[in-house]
Amino acid sequence: MTSEEPTWLTAEQQRVWRSLHGVLLLLPIALDRQLQQDSELSLLEYYVLAGLSEDPTGAARLSDVAFLTNAELSRVSHLAARLEKRGLLVRRPDPADGRYTNAVITEEGRDLVRRAAPGHVATVRKLIFDALGEAGVPELGRAMDRIGTALSETDVPRIPGAGRRPPPGS
């Protein structure tokens, strides 16, 4: 019986991996703090409301919201209850299949997302795009596309719309 020695990361690969891992850990914390401070929303709450506001119907099944936010369905259900108490969304049975529950954004929810978005975008710009500089943006885009392609070749589910380029002028 033989066992192959693992192919370890080079020193440079290890440095880059640790840097990426640090960004994956710290970026959500920084974004969450900004949203909490400016809008009294958590990052998860913001992404739920923003996602609903971008849907033409303003609605989505809670199970879909859980998938898109990488959160457990029970966590999203509790979050929806909190947002409903704040008047930011309502929960309704899915008209296509009553076994599911939809989250539907309210006008108050839409207003809060509109007010929160500029600060969130400014923080994303400062932490990512300003740090990259103009030349670094396409470089990072290509790197993320390659990593996304590698992930798509695994059994990890794809996020709808990930990697999709927005229409010109948006």
How crowded is residue 79: how many other Cβ atoms within 10 Å of its Cβ?
21
CATH of domain 30-152: 1.10.10.10
Q: Cβ contacts of residue 89 below 8 Å, gap of 6+?
A: 48, 49, 52, 80, 83, 103, 104, 105, 106, 109
Residue 164: predicted pLDDT: 47
Per-residue pLDDT of the chain (170 residues; tens, 9 = 90+): 557 889 999 999 999 999 999 999 999 999 999 999 999 999 999 999 999 999 999 999 999 999 888 889 999 999 999 999 999 999 999 999 989 999 999 999 999 999 999 999 999 999 999 999 999 999 999 999 999 899 888 887 766 555 444 433 33
Pairing of strands 89-93, 59-61: unpaired
Residue 70: predicted pLDDT: 87
Residue 157: what residue type? P
Strand partners, 104: 59, 90
What residue spans define the domains of the chain?
30-152
Please return the burial class of 90, using the count of CB atoms within 10 Å of its CB with bins 0-12, 13-18 and 19+.
middle
Would you state the structure tokens that stand for residue 62, as one six-digit string?
A: 């809670």
Residue 155: predicted pLDDT: 84
Residue 3: predicted pLDDT: 74
Please return the burial class of 73, using the count of CB atoms within 10 Å of its CB with bins 0-12, 13-18 and 19+.
middle
Residue 159: predicted pLDDT: 62
pTM for the structure as a whole: 0.84
Nearest Cα to Cα of residue 35 among 138, 162, 127, 156: 127
Gap between the Cα atoms of 50 and 65, Å rounded: 11
Residue 170: predicted pLDDT: 34
End-to-end CA distance of the chain: 58
Residue 40: predicted pLDDT: 96
Q: By the 8 A CB rule, do 52 and 105 touch?
A: yes
